Amino acid sequence: MHQAKHLVRDTLLVLLGNLILAFGVAVFAVPSNLIVAGATGIALIICEFIPVNYATVVFVINMVMLLLGFIVLGKKFAAGTILSSLIFPFFLAMFEAIPQLQHLTSDMLLSAIYAGLFTGLGCGIVFRVGYSTGGMDIPPIIMNKKLHISLGVCVYLFDVVVLLGQSFFTSFEGILYGIITVFITAIVLDKVTIF
């Protein structure tokens, strides 16, 4: 009975975390053309070359990273991450399909701040129950477990690499806003996972 309650609680937290994360990305980052990190950032780079929906590319990246997580971190981790890997692209597509949410603000600084807050909070909730949101969260979690480096620092390092990849398709100002988003994400993520 206790184990069933624990499973229900974890599942609800994973759903909530992914909902918050997708909201930040689909409502603030993507409509403002902010450069974003993680699987979404890689998807946006790929979409510059291939005309495909970014939520679909995120799904494919999530599946590849899920396999890596299963191999390195084990069955329990993979089982908990499967839900995120499936539900995050769904939430992205859902928020993307609501036109009113695509124009909440035209202020780039507000978009950068809120994208960072929602991303950090969403990821933090999922990480706190011992799972991942899938995608490019998995390599930092592997680094954290194997090398004992702060999860926020690991996520920040991977995110900076993805941001640099997008720097060819955006303005210098866009890069600066993207750095604000990633910085806020790392701070909020560390606070939520340590709290």
Q: What pLDDT, in 10s, does the model give residues 80-103?
A: 788 887 888 899 889 999 998 888
Phi, psi for residue 53 in degrees, rounded to 5? -65, 135
Q: Quick one: pLDDT at residue 61?
A: 87
Per the structure, the complete domain to which residue 130 belongs is given by 1-194
**Residues 51-71, mean pLDDT to the nearest whole number:** 85
**Residues 164-182, mean pLDDT to the nearest whole number:** 83
Phi, psi for residue 93 in degrees, rounded to 5? -65, -35
Number of domains in the chain: 1
In the predicted model, what is the mean pLDDT of the chain? 86
pLDDT > 70? residue 195: no
Q: Quick one: pLDDT at residue 66?
A: 84
Residue 18: band (very low, low, confident or very high) from pLDDT cuts 50, 70, 90: very high
Closest CA to 34 of 167, 185, 177: 177
**Residues 102-128, mean pLDDT to the nearest whole number:** 92
Q: Quick one: pLDDT at residue 167?
A: 79
pLDDT > 70? residue 8: yes
Tell me how far apart the alpha carbons of residues 32 and 174 are, in angstroms, rounded to a whole number. Answer: 9
DSSP string, 3-49: HHHHHHHHHHHHHHHHHHHHHIIIIIITTTT----HHHHHHHHHHHH
* Number of H-type helices and E-type strands within the chain: 8, 0
